Amino acid sequence: MKVSPESRLEELGLTLPPCPPNTSNYLGTVTVGDLVFVAGHGPFKDGELIHKGRVGEDMDVETAVEAAQLVALNMLSTLKAEFGELSRIKRVVKLLIMINSAPDFDRHQMIANGASDLMVDVFGENGKHARSTVGMAALPLGLAVEAEGVFQIIS
């Protein structure tokens, strides 16, 4: 019997944070056919911004990896709120990871692995995805990491 994503999170010792509220005029998810587009998420926990600052200046790589994992957990929380259970997710299709980084920082992929590794840990082979990772001069609210994604759902 296949282990549910929620059970897998529990095995990993992780819990989904409360679903983050929208802070502007947008939707957290938009579903078109069997694809769900998840809006940008930041490293919030219990409504509080946990990781703020520029990687390579205000924050080290290890902390930024934790921020990326928290961002991924927030995305999963939004998906669970939208669909009731994460087992409706058939595949992680694509992630875009944006990192607020110092101009000379060049290890963005290491930070993005915090989000990517979580998706694979939770969804197995179906968690493997296409990914783009970019360094940014700034992110809203001073976020250290922001991510958006595309997921395939079981209709």
The pLDDT tens digits of the residues spanning 120-152 come to 999 999 999 999 999 999 999 999 999 999 999
In order, the DSSP letters of the chain are -PPPHHHHHHHTT--PPPPPPP-SSS-SEEEETTEEEEEEE--EETTEE--BS-BTTTB-HHHHHHHHHHHHHHHHHHHHHHHSSGGGEEEEEEEEEEEEB-TT---HHHHHHHHHHHHHHHHGGGG--EEEEEEES--GGGBSEEEEEEEEE--
The pLDDT tens digits of the residues spanning 14-29 come to 999 988 777 789 999 9
